[in-house]
Every structure is written in C-alpha cells, then in structure tokens.
Structure 1
Amino acid sequence: MTNRVYVVGVGLTKFEKPGRRADWDYPAMALESGTKALADAGIAYDKVEQAYAGYCYGDSCSGHRAVYGLGMTGIPVFNVNSNCSTGSSAMFLAAQAIRSGMADCTLAIGFEKMQPGSLGSTFDDREPPMQRHLLAMAELREIAFPPAPWMFGAAGLEHNEKYGSTPEHFVKIAAKNHRHSVHNPYAQFQDDYTEDQIKADKMVYAAAGLTRPMCSPTSDGSGAAILASERFVEDNDLAGQAIEIVGQSLVTDLPGTLDSASLITLVGADMSRTAAQRVYEQAQLGPEDIDVIELHDCFAPNELLTYEALGLAGEGEAHKLVDAGDTTYGGRWVVNPSGGLISKGHPLGATGLAQTAELTWQLRGLADKRQVAGAKVALAHNIGLGGSVVVTAYRPAER
C-alpha cells in the first residue's frame, strides 16, 4: 500500500528576463520561493525531511546552496537535472519519498539563472544529450537553427500535412496564452497580442510560421512546493488547504522512439500519451473530468500536439479544439490559465513547479482574475527532450 501525497504549500517568484535584475542570483530566487512555500504551509523549515532541488544551468551542489538559505538542518538534499522537465522531476521524487513512506514532509524546489537568447549546449567536448534525437529528425525534415524551435515547429508541420491543421492554429494558441497572462503577476510577459501582431513579429522558424511570441523565452526565476503525507496533514491541521496528488507518472523515451518515422513522436508525444494514460488509470479519471490544465507550450505547436497526447482530442483533431474555443475560458477546459511557458516564461528548473503553484491556487479558488470557475480537478504536463515527461493530476483533499 502506498501513502497518499498532498501539496500543502507553494511559492513562486516573478519570472524575469535574464539579467533584468542584476543582483538576483539563484540563492536569492530559491530563498524567495522556498520562504513563500513554507509560509503557505504554515510550517518551519525544520519540519522538512528531504529536499529535491532542480536546475539545469549550475554547478554540482547548487541545490544545496539554494536550500541552505532556508536552513542548514542536515537533511538529504538531492540535485535534479532533466532538461525542461526538471522542476516536475524534482516534484516526482519528492512525492515518491512520501509515497514510499520514507518521509512525511519534503521540499521540491526549482530555479534557474539563464543566459539571454536561444538555448545552447554547455559543453562542446562531448556528445550532446539530444544528438540522437536531432539526427533522427534531420533524416525526416531539413534541419534549421536554432534547433529547439525547429524540432517542435517541424513536428507541428507534420501535423499540418497529415491532418489539415495550419500555422494559423499555432497563432491562435499563442494569442490565447498571451491573453491569459495579462492577469498573472508572476508572468514575464503580461501583454495581450492580436493574431496579426503575432504573425508580424520576428520570424524564428519560417517553415512553420513560428514567430517570437509563439516561443517561450529564457527566464530567471524559482518555484517551490511543500509535499506532505496524510499523517502530516492531519497532525498539522492542513486538510483545508491540502491538494492531493491523485495520479503521477514520469516516462522517458520509449522503445522505438529514435527509430520512429514521425517527428511528432520524436518530440515526445508518445511519452506524454503514455504518462497521461497511466495517470488517468491511477486517478480513475478521464480527460472529461479535468477542469484546468497547465501544459508544456514551449512552442505553440507543442500545445496543439499535447492536446492529443493528453486525450483531449482524437488523433489529428487537436486543431478542432482551437477552432471551437474549447481550451480557454468558457470552453471545455482552460489550458494554461497562467499564460503558459510562452508568456509566463521558462526558467527550466522552475517551470514544473510553477505549474504546481498555479494549479494549487486554481483548486483552492485563489487564482484571482485567472480563476477557472468551479475547478475541482487539475492536470499538469511538463516535458524535457532527451528525454522525459511528467504528468500529474491534482484535486483538493476536502471536496
């Protein structure tokens, strides 16, 4: 029998353009988000038994340095790095410690201090982790630079060619997410763009019509979550604010991924689909039961592809949700009420935890003008190529 796991506290910094706050180093970011999460949970740091710290750009033991601002209590601190899914991977491990009975209270924290511009490789004297994925995709579609927008843009083009979606659908998704971000004080961008403004902006990958507002920016920032067992929740009278993790799955690349003739598969759709199916089974829920979703829109085409991977639409039908307005307020689901990665920003280590924070606020009814009316069940999706995906389902402990 596994223990139940609850989110009892969340904290988030505003996501910023890299270097905008010159004196803002990662220990200060983590101190801010971690302090907020502890205050939200109403506990002191000495209650935390293990910490999982996620980041991609940093030296060994940066996670230790990050949490030492909260306290030096001798607890195990684990450093987590899993590309863009780093924050949710730290969450998965923190939850697993509780689920297994190894701890009653854990901290998941993620942070990033990034360089401006497109993502690049840190080391040039060894094979890049995504080299095999890139080479497999280059066999199917002419490569373009920067690689990340090309990879997801090319997968979006495959959907266009096979199923009749168009780059206009990517534009509409980006416009939706920017519109949502207007009411998110934590977002790097809070600007409402028209579809014409999005199309007229700087081109990033012309073949898919991918412009700058359709791409997530590099960002500085941090997010944190306090996780607890049922016993801890009861002992500390936290049931009224606790959000239960009712399903969670971490999936890495599957057999045959690198041999696939599908660009959509190569950018992780099968990982996402497998993780989502496992979560629905664990939670005994289906897509129709979900009210609010935070998913990994690193580029607008990936949001379209993820609709199908999460079971919101059948194969080849994701663009119909866009045309029907089914993924915004008044539709069947509200997807990325925070503004998503496109608007909120994408500090790699913090992204998954920012999703946790947003969905916790939504399920508590504390999301202010972003609030999804009557939200009772939430789903998070966070992907990193190379690769792994984490899907998590949440609902309030008291309903």
Structure 2
Amino acid sequence: MKFVDEATIEVIAGKGGNGVASFRREKFIPMGGPDGGDGGRGGTVYAVADRNINTLIDYRYARVHRAQNGEQGSGSDRYGAGGSDITLRMPVGTMVYDADTGELLFDLAAHGQKVVLAAGGAGGLGNLHFKSSTNRAPRQFTHGRPGEHRRLRLELKVLADVGLLGMPNAGKSTLIRKLSNARPKVADYPFTTLHPNLGVVRTDSERSFVIADIPGLIEGAAEGAGLGHQFLRHLSRTRVLLHLVDVAPLDPSVDPIREARAIVEELRRYDPALYEKPRWLVLNKIDMVDDPQGLQEAFCLELGWTGPVFAISALAGQGTQELAWALQNWLDEQREAEHAFDEDARFAPPPQDAPAAGGEPAAPPARRPRRGARPSAAAEPPGPGDENAAD
C-alpha cells in the first residue's frame, strides 16, 4: 500500500430539517389547534483514531465527506428524523488543521480518540412551540440551521519512541530489520527507503519500544535536495534520536565527519525543538575497520561529541543488542520520571481512618443534640453537686 502522510479534505455536516406549521383537522373537532412538529437535526462528521490504519491513502482520493440532512417535521406532532452521522477513521498520530487558517484543531494521539470535525445543524421548530393563550393559531415556524462546512488538512506524524537519522545508505533500514520484525527494503543504492517504517523492538517478555526509520537526509535538504524535509515531521514525537554514521563508506572521497555535521545542521535548520531532542551517536559498519576503539575515540574527538556513542555492525549484529538494551533502560527511566509525581505518596489523599498527629486514632466528631432534647446521662455524667446524682 502506498504511504500517504498528507491530505486535504472537505467535511460538510448535515442541515437541520425545517419545522412545519400545521393544524389538527379531524371530524367534529373544528378547532384542533396547532400540531406542527420540529425538523430533525443534521448529521455530524466525526473522526476517530484507529491503530489498525497507518496511512492517509483513503483521503487522498475521497476528498469530500458529507453527512445526511435532517428531515422536515410534519403534522400530528410528528418530528423529522435526524440525519445519519458519518465517522472517518484515521491513523493514530493524525493532526487535523484548518486548511484556511492553519490552526491546529485536533491531535489524534490515542487509539479510540473521537472528535467532532463538523457539527450538524439544529432542526427548526414547528408552530406547536409558538402557541399561547393570545396566539391560539400560530403560523410561525423556523428553518433548520445549516451544518458546519470546513476544509481540513490532515498531517500524519507516526508515534515512535526512537527515531533513526542519517545519510542515505547509512544502515538505518538494516538496523531496524535486525532489531525488529519490520522488513523495509534494503539495497546498495541511495534512497531505497521512500516512506517511514515502524518496528517494535521487544527486549523482554513485557518490555518493548517502537523504532521509526525515515528516508535519509542529504546536505541541502532545506533547499529541496533529495527528499528534502518531507518526512522529518515523523521524528517530532520520538523521545530519542539515533544518528547513524557510516564509518566505512564505499566511496573513499566521502568524509563521515563532514556528513555527520551536515545532518546536524539540517536538523537545526528544520526545527530547533527537534534539534534539542536527546541524540545518540551510532557508528555503523564497525566490522569493516581495523581498530574500532581507536576509530571511535578519534571520531568523537574530531566531531566534538560528548554524548552517548555506540559502535555497531547492523549487518553482522555486532553491538545491536547492547544498543537495544541501553535504549530500553533509558526509555524506562524516562517513563518512570514522568509518572513519579503522580505516584508520590505525599500527594495522595489521606484515608478516612488515618491516625492523628500524636499516633492515636482521631476521635469521631461529636453529634449535636436535637433542639429541645434533654442530654442523656451517658453523654453528661452527673457532677458532685447534682441533687439528682446517684448515691
């Protein structure tokens, strides 16, 4: 299936049905009074996030989505039927923009999330609502309101924990094939990856994360070279970026240091927020060099890199499991840190039977006696000067 991550659609909600002016006409009832019913409401256009869909291909060709109009009311106090709603299923991660103003309307970031794209119009009122003691034969009624009409731009940003970044043929697709069950195309020419690929990396029976592979960047992508910045948006939801560098290129004139700096510069020019994301350096094809440790130290020194660095061979699998475990541990720490405040016992509400500050259980509040009631002997023991006290 062709991968489509942008589409422009038009949604038109249903118009509400008109009310009706009608009067009851039956034999032997010459003055039956008004009995005009209301019009039905127009249908509404909804959108729901579905994790079983991973592309916007359906909305590239079906661009207009129209809900049903409400039916008109009729006599005998009969209301018109409401228009049928329609629900558009979209991939999780779809962002809905107003195509005319550019305003972000909705972000469908969770499976099953449902939003209203265009609300249906309300039905009109029949003359039944206008009767009164002074207006016994009203002929007024109202028309149904039109439904909302919008032009929307859909933009898909895939949901992943880890994003792969690098030049074409750096080994990104080979790495995702090695770590997960994803099977992107791998070949010995550049730009074999033409759309993002997602893979689930399972490090344990109950621990996993999602990794995303996007088409490679080249220097000058901001000016449209290669595939440009078309797919960089898919990295905006990731927690960490893996910058893959081919340290053993087939072309001897290619400088890996220069290519690594070019990728970082393109990232900065595209989005400063994406540039500030946590980034790990991954040196690929380390099995093709004589001194891997020395090359790693010299590479980091010349690049000025002080962050996490891993030396791997995506094809041979050397160092890939250590990289996967390090990513899993780092992601688990990030998730625990995000939920630490919510699970802090200091902010939990105290139980009802919590002990007092001195360690003794708190005494229940005393009940106030009813007005006019005499206090009981058990509640107020007699004093020594009470003449009714027991001997």
- Which range, TM-score by smaller chain? under 0.3
Q: What is the TM-score when the length of structure 1 is the normalising length?
A: 0.23
Q: What is the TM-score when the length of structure 2 is the normalising length?
A: 0.24
Which protein has the bigger helix share? 1
